[in-house]
């Protein structure tokens, strides 16, 4: 099972040849990131904001729902501390397969209650906003991650060089909240492999851009030749 970070809060999760894409961003409103042109078998959107709902950038395979190896469930949570009265609500997605539980937290904006914690507790992987002023700030995100007690925490939705809104915190604002530096793993890749013996950690993935999309990338449209020869090719 592989988790690929495609920037901002967007991930591709692939298992048994099936890919679930979560929260594609619209690059017109997400500073520094290129336009998304991706392929997937299933698309999940946590909420209807431009940084998370760019469906136009995803070409779906059309495979039947029965092909999906994941059992997918949802938790509705407020986007901000005003309990949804300001920015609305978003969805936490829980993906389970072969004994693994992966959690994408969306733009969680408040602390979790006891029932929500019990649903998410002991996740193998938790993808969580690490530096958002529109969701939980880094200190509160760390607290939420602690309550879930996920084995692996993957930060997302933060300021990464020239990528992401200037008002977002950097990922170090989140990682510095952990007492043990050795708990933080800095990867030179955008992909994390989920295995039975994976080490507990905060896995900071490296954004590599479209060059690393591989089979997730849509094929480039071929330019149509003009003139008589082009018309003949169309016939």
Domain boundaries, the chain: 2-220
Residue 142, classed as helix, strand or coil, is helix
**What is the pLDDT confidence band of residue 177, given thresholds at 50, 70 and 90?**
very high
User: Could you say which architecture CATH assigns to the domain 2-220?
Assistant: 4-Layer Sandwich (3.60)
d(CA 28, CA 48): 15
Evaluate if residue 210 carries a pLDDT over 90.
yes
pLDDT computed for residue 166 by the predictor: 67
226, pLDDT greater than 70: no
Between 104 and 28, residue with greater pLDDT = 104
Q: What is the mean pLDDT of residues 12-33?
A: 91
For 71-208, strand residue ranges (E) read 71-78, 89-97, 100-104, 125-129, 152-156, 184-186, 191-193, 201-204
List, for residues 115-158, the tens digit of each pLDDT value. Answer: 889 999 999 999 998 876 667 888 888 988 999 999 999 999 88
pLDDT of residue 49: 66
pLDDT of 61-80, one tens digit each?
Answer: 999 999 999 999 999 887 56
| Least reliable range by pLDDT among 104-113, 205-214, 219-228 | 219-228
């Amino acid at each position: 099972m592989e988790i690929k970070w495609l920037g901002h809060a967007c991930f591709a999760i692939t298992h048994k040849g099936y890919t679930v894409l979560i929260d594609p961003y619209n690059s017109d409103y997400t500073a520094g990131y290129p336009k998304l042109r991706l392929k997937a078998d299933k698309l999940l959107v946590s909420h209807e904001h431009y940084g998370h709902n760019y469906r136009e950038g995803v070409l779906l395979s059309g495979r039947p729902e029965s092909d999906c190896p994941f059992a997918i469930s949802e938790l509705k949570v407020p986007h901000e501390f005003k309990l949804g009265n300001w920015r609305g609500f978003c969805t936490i997605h829980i993906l389970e397969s072969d004994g693994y539980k992966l959690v994408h937290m969306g733009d969680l904006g408040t602390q979790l209650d006891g029932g929500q914690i019990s649903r998410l507790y002991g996740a193998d992987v938790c993808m969580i906003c690490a530096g958002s002023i529109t969701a939980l700030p880094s200190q509160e995100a760390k607290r939420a991650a602690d309550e879930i007690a996920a084995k692996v925490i993957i930060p997302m939705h933060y300021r990464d060089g020239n990528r992401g809104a200037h008002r977002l915190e950097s990922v170090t604002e989140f990682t510095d909240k952990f007492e043990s530096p050795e708990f933080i793993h800095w990867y030179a890749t955008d992909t994390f492999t989920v295995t039975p013996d994976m080490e507990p950690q905060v896995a900071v993935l490296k954004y590599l851009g479209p060059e690393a999309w591989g089979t997730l990338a849509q094929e480039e449209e071929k330019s149509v030749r003009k003139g008589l020869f082009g018309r003949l090719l169309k016939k």
